[in-house]
């Protein structure tokens, strides 16, 4: 029996391809053109970025994400070789992303290559510091979840940690001047974990997202140290101001500030540029649009200062 997905050998269907291809060109090049600056074709590759992220994870945690049989004699060679190959891939992706953040008059090949090399070099220099913060995140997850049996279990199987690793890498790239590339990295994490962290958000050390599915952290969010979030928490904007022409105003601070040692339970929605004071707890399913002082317990029914 022939598969329904394959034509039988004696059938040669006609698809009128020439006409369809011509109409697609007309749409792509004339009627519905969306190419950046009408000319940019070299776009960052999601597939290559996945390879870059895998390489960076293996560089930071070689026996967990690289090769489990590495020894003291081979581990540094593996890290160096992996990092070199990964940075070469990253450099090209940064160069392509710079079309979107650099002024059009600077788009000559030599200038973009030089800037991409500098950004990639500076990013590489930050990796030890990024790993240091990630280790604090790992300890926060292990200490904050009674179900965790080891830090290795957390590193290998917790989606919140995967999302935070991607965020820390994306945040560094964003800070160094390649925001489009950073946004793509955060979307890759979102696709695989269900956790959406904008790379421009500022998040302190010892950060833990438990379970994690549905967590959203907006662009201008500021999170202090030792903060814990549970699934389906939203740190979002309450409104979106527009200019006189009705276009949304970009770049304004519109997301919450969460101070140190705050816990936010599942389903809480916190909107606008408000402050959740140090040491506070926000209960499940709370809808919050006003600031709360330090050491406050917020539930659906009431707000109580300790």
CATH number of the domain encompassing residue 292: 2.160.10.10
Burial of 246 (0-12, 13-18, 19+ CB in 10 A): exposed
Domain containing residue 140: CATH number:
1.10.3130.10
Q: How many CB atoms lie within 10 A of CB 92?
A: 17
Q: Do both 297 and 231 map to the same domain?
A: yes
Determine, yes or no, domain membership for 177: yes
Q: For residue 37, what is the DSSP state? A: G
Determine, yes or no, domain membership for 247: yes
How many domains does the chain contain in total? 2
Instruction: Look at residues 195, 226, 251 and tell me which one is the last residue of a structural domain.
Output: 195
Q: Mean pLDDT over residues 42-70, rounded?
A: 95
Q: E strands within the chain?
A: 196-197, 202-203, 208-209, 216-217, 222-223, 228-229, 234-236, 257-258, 263-264, 269-271, 275-276, 281-282, 287-288, 296-298, 303-305
Q: Do both 170 and 124 map to the same domain?
A: yes
Pick the residue with more confidence: 240 or 194? 194
Determine, yes or no, domain membership for 133: yes
Q: Do both 141 and 181 map to the same domain?
A: yes
Where in the sequence is the domain holding 57, given as residue range(s)?
42-195
Q: Do both 81 and 163 map to the same domain?
A: yes
The per-residue DSSP string of 96-109 comes to: HHGGGTS-GGG--H
pLDDT digits (tens, 9 = 90+) for 63-77: 999 988 899 999 999
Q: What are phi and psi of 143, to 5 degrees?
A: -75, -25
Q: How far is CA 245 from CA 34, 215, 293, in A?
A: 22, 32, 38
Q: Which of 20-24, 64-68, 208-212 has the lowest mean pLDDT?
A: 64-68
Q: What is the pTM of this model?
A: 0.89
Determine, yes or no, domain membership for 115: yes
pLDDT digits (tens, 9 = 90+) for 220-246: 999 999 999 999 999 999 987 777 777
- pLDDT value at position 2? 54
Q: Do both 97 and 173 map to the same domain?
A: yes
Report helix, strand or coil for 53.
helix
- pLDDT value at position 79? 96
Determine, yes or no, domain membership for 129: yes
Separation between Cα atoms, residue 176 and residue 75, nearest integer Å: 29
């Amino acid at each position: 029996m022939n598969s329904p997905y394959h034509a039988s050998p004696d059938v040669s269907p006609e698809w009128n391809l020439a006409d369809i291809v011509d109409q697609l060109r007309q749409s792509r090049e004339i009627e519905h053109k969306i190419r950046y600056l009408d000319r940019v074709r070299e776009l960052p590759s999601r597939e290559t970025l996945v390879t870059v992220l895998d390489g960076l994870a293996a560089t930071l945690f070689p026996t967990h994400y690289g090769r489990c049989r590495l020894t003291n004699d081979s581990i540094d060679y593996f890290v160096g070789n992996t990092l070199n190959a990964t940075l070469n891939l990253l450099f090209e992706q940064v160069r392509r992303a710079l079309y979107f953040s650099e002024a059009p008059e600077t788009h000559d090949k030599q200038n973009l290559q030089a800037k991409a090399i500098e950004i990639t070099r500076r990013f590489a220099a930050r990796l030890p510091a990024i790993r240091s913060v990630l280790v604090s995140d790992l300890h926060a997850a292990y200490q904050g979840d009674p179900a965790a049996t080891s830090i290795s279990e957390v590193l290998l199987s917790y989606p919140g940690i995967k999302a935070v690793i991607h965020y820390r890498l994306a945040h560094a790239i964003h800070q160094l001047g390649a925001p489009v590339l950073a946004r793509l990295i955060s979307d890759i994490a979102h696709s695989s974990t269900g956790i959406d962290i904008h790379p421009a958000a500022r998040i302190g050390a010892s950060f833990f997202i438990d379970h994690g599915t549905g967590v959203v952290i907006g662009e201008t969010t500021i999170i202090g140290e030792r903060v814990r979030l549970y699934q389906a928490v939203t740190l979002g904007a309450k409104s979106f101001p527009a200019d006189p022409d009705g276009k949304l105003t970009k770049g304004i601070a519109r997301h919450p500030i969460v101070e140190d040692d705050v816990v936010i339970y599942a389903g809480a929605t916190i909107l606008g540029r408000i402050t959740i004071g140090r040491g506070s707890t926000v209960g499940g399913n709370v809808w919050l649009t006003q600031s709360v002082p330090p050491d406050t317990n917020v539930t659906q029914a009431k707000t109580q200062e300790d």
